Structure 1
Amino acid sequence: MKFIPLASMLIFSSVYIPNVAAQDFDVCVKRLQATAQEQGLSQDIIQHTLANVKYVPRVVELDNQQPEFSQTFEGYYTKRVTDARVEQGRQLLKDNREFLEQLTKKYGIPPQYLLAFWGLETNFGGYKGKMPVLDSLATLACLPRRSEYFTGELMQALKLKQKYGFNQADMVGSWAGAMGHTQFMPSAYAQYAIDADGSGKADLWNSQVDALTSAAYFLQQLGWHRDERWGREVILPRGFSYQNVGKSQTKSLTQWSKLGVLNTNRTALSTPDMQATLYLPSGHLGPAFLAYENFDVIMRWNRSTFYALAVGKLADRINGGGVLTNTPPKMPRLSREKLKALQTSLNEKGFDVGKADGVLGTRSIKGLQDYQQSQGLIADGYPSVATLDALGVSR
């Protein structure tokens, strides 16, 4: 799986990066061989596998791509929570209910969530990636930016090959080394993968039983709350104060109910002592969500709000739920340069959002809300057309 903060909310545009790693790759591989020996890997793995890894220029290109346009929630969601994916998930739920319910009993993860993760990661195993994992990880380990991290992942991948006897040609995945039905990175594979089908090895590429069992175990270890859902879409009342949006404003359902927040059928929220956070991924014009503690668990799998909302809603729909009550509106995508201009303008006007980096994080959203409130705009923290105009940021 991919622990990429907000990266899954971005569309990338290629930029040219000078190819400096290739000429030093052989030297780097020698260093990696020494590291492998220090970590106790066999001479066979070191001399016949690691010594023969190949440099992959495409991996360098992908690693160095810079985010150019931020994707809207509408663009992200509609491409992932599709009717076809929902129907396939429902059929898989029907066909595998007994096995999935066994996982629920043991690990506490309801079937629809396991299917939702599986669906988003690889379209239920339809596309698990085709890049040679060891070559990709070696290439990344030889780049200075995240060498330590990817060296560690490469060592784990080599240990997996040594432990289970995987054929190197079969070890394929994403360009960054995520593998199998559930796209585990090697370190997660080593720690959480389970041989559930009794084959003698945890095979996340070829065994759906191993992959889904491993996903259930991983989510349990991340802290999944048994018998609780991820969250829900809600309706906000007229005159709602959007200063209540975001993680810093987490409240109990009782408090949200007192603020006039309703279920989508306009009935009152149930009022147990559960904590919830309000998210408006498309601003006040789009759907509103109250997210519970299991939403935070989903975010530990992939640190993207869009991803976590998609998992939650795909799970709901697989389990028989309906479409969003409030369809996400189509919004223009903003370039990173425009987001930098927005941040610069906020700083100049006295709303400190820190360095203008083109990433609309928590601090920028709070500064944007404060500015919107000062201008009599709807203070939802979303860079609407009216807000951009007020800040003097060209569209």
Structure 2
Amino acid sequence: MRVLPSPKAVLHRTALIALLATPTLASAQCGGGFQNFVRGLKDEAVSAGYSIKTVNGFFSGVAKDSKVLRADRSQGVFQKPFIEFSRRLISQSRLDRGSRKGEEFDKIFERIETTYGINRGVLLAFWAFETDYGAVQGDFNTRNALVTLAHDCRRPELFRPQIFSALELYRKGDFDPARTTGAWAGEIGMVQMLPGDILEHGVDADGDGHVTLKTSAADALMSAARMLSHLGWRANEPWLQEVTIPAGMDVSASGPAYKKSVAEWEAMGVTPRSFDFAMKDVEASLILPQGHKGPAFLAYPNFDIYFEWNQSFTYVLTAAYFATRLQGAEVYNAGNPDTGLSDGQMKELQRRLQDRGHDVGSVDGILGANTRLAVQQEQMRLGLPADAWPTPDLLNAL
């Protein structure tokens, strides 16, 4: 039975929605003196209907955290290629612990699978990568991190609304501004969710009257499942499957931007490794993270949902692959990929692609979606295997 919130709760929720919908919050009112910035936040919160006592209690002792800014500017781990990155994150110990956690929380996973149709391997993989099954949740003060990142002006449209979501959690008794800690970017709990996502998708799965993602595995897992379902997860469908491609196959249609039915891929000679193809009428993308000589996967529609959780292609592919391992898939065939580029070479490649009119985003040395697509287009122009994997030969050809 759905329990309707009290009139007071409705008032605060309406005020919060109005506050987050204010156009100026997305782009203006960042930078300048930190204390002036905080005063502006407090004034807006009061004008939205929060009591002065609540606002003062939330912002009491708020401070700028320089460690947060350093962390924001040093995310070099995502520059590593898939094979190196996945081997770094996936160990037999993590697999064994995932198996034990699946058994320990079997009942909550059964609820999730029944309610949302999301395989336990998917959530176990997130749980493992985000916090090592809850062991490492981050020690950054969440309120300070959010205020620091909103003040920084790099992405105020992302972080500023999260401040007011945290304020609403504080009003509800589910957030302690002095003691709540998490990741440098403001994520909280065992599966690292932002305050706004906790407000919208949080589930009190253990029935204690609070949504506690830091200490309740049941709350964390059920909340993550509800969020994935809201983002469009297709119930009881696969997300990723390792495949083998035939020698000499035309790979110009590989990559997340291109889709064919599984039956069409099969007709081209693509075959599964661990399990048979279960849904041949569903469209999928052929993913070659390190080119046509390396690992190969078919990515199903649910794979796209991973990018709503994290924008890093390498992270997403590794998390999706680890989820298949937790469900019994074998270790991928690493193959013998062509040598990739160093950080300096990758940045030089991005500059040369920009000179040719390609939109690769910032020159950051990360092989993201835009850079991959530009590489593939140049490979086709030059008559090279168009697998979106940049090599020194491609760099020299450009």
Q: Structure 2 length normalisation: TM-score?
A: 0.84
**Alpha-carbon distance between aligned partners in 1 of 2:370 and 2:72, rounded to the nearest angstrom:** 26
Q: Which residue identity does 1:36 align to in structure 2?
A: A
Matching of residue 254 in structure 1 with residue 259 in structure 2: no
SS at match of 2:243: strand
SS at match of 2:136: coil
Matching of residue 319 in structure 1 with residue 290 in structure 2: no
**Alpha-carbon distance between aligned partners in 2 of 1:226 and 1:363, rounded to the nearest angstrom:** 29
Q: Which residue does the alignment assign to 1:17?
A: none
Indicate which of 2, 24, 27 corresponds to 2:33: 24
Would the aligned equivalents of 2:291 and 2:338 in 1 still touch at CA under 8 Å? no
Alpha-carbon offset, residue 305 of structure 1: 2.3
**Alpha-carbon distance between aligned partners in 1 of 2:77 and 2:182, rounded to the nearest angstrom:** 25
Q: Which residue does the alignment assign to 2:308?
A: 300
Q: Which residue identity does 2:352 align to in structure 1?
A: S
Q: Which residue identity does 1:322 align to in structure 2?
A: E
Unaligned runs of 5+ in 1: 1-19
Q: 1:147 to 1:367 in 2, by over 3 A?
A: closer
Q: Which residue identity does 1:381 align to in structure 2?
A: A
Indicate which of 369, 385, 388 corresponds to 2:392: 385
Alpha-carbon offset, residue 120 of structure 1: 1.2
Matching of residue 50 in structure 1 with residue 59 in structure 2: yes
Which structure is higher in RCO with an 8 Å CA cutoff and minimum separation 6?
A: 1
Indicate which of 348, 358, 379 corresponds to 1:353: 358
Indicate which of 81, 100, 108 corresponds to 1:91: 100
TM-align CA RMSD = 2.6
Q: 1:347 to 1:203 in 2, by over 3 A?
A: closer
Kindly provide the CA deviation profile for residues 244-279 of structure 1, in whole angstroms up to 9, marking residues without a partner as x: 1123320001111111111126x9755621000011
SS at match of 1:233: strand
Q: 1:142 to 1:347 in 2, by over 3 A?
A: closer
Kindly provide the CA deviation profile for residues 324-359 of structure 1, in whole angstroms up to 9, marking residues without a partner as x: 133585955532x533422443466xx541467325
SS at match of 1:175: coil
Alpha-carbon offset, residue 203 of structure 1: 0.6
Q: Which residue does the alignment assign to 2:86?
A: 77
**Alpha-carbon distance between aligned partners in 2 of 1:239 and 1:104, rounded to the nearest angstrom:** 40
Kindly provide the CA deviation profile for residues 213-242 of structure 1, in whole angstroms up to 9, marking residues without a partner as x: 111111111111122111201101111011
**Alpha-carbon distance between aligned partners in 1 of 2:362 and 2:175, rounded to the nearest angstrom:** 42
Q: 1:294 to 1:347 in 2, by over 3 A?
A: closer
Would the aligned equivalents of 2:243 and 2:297 in 1 still touch at CA under 8 Å? yes
Q: Which residue identity does 1:378 align to in structure 2?
A: P
Q: 1:356 to 1:195 in 2, by over 3 A?
A: closer
Number of residue pairs the alignment of both structures matches: 367
SS at match of 1:232: strand
Alignment map for 1:1-395 (pairs within 5 Å):
24-65=33-74, 70-264=79-273, 269=277, 272-326=280-334, 331-332=339-340, 334-335=342-343, 337-346=344-353, 352-354=357-359, 357-358=362-363, 360-391=367-398
Q: Structure 1 length normalisation: TM-score?
A: 0.85
SS at match of 2:172: helix
Q: 1:183 to 1:250 in 2, by over 3 A?
A: same
Unaligned runs of 5+ in 2: 1-29
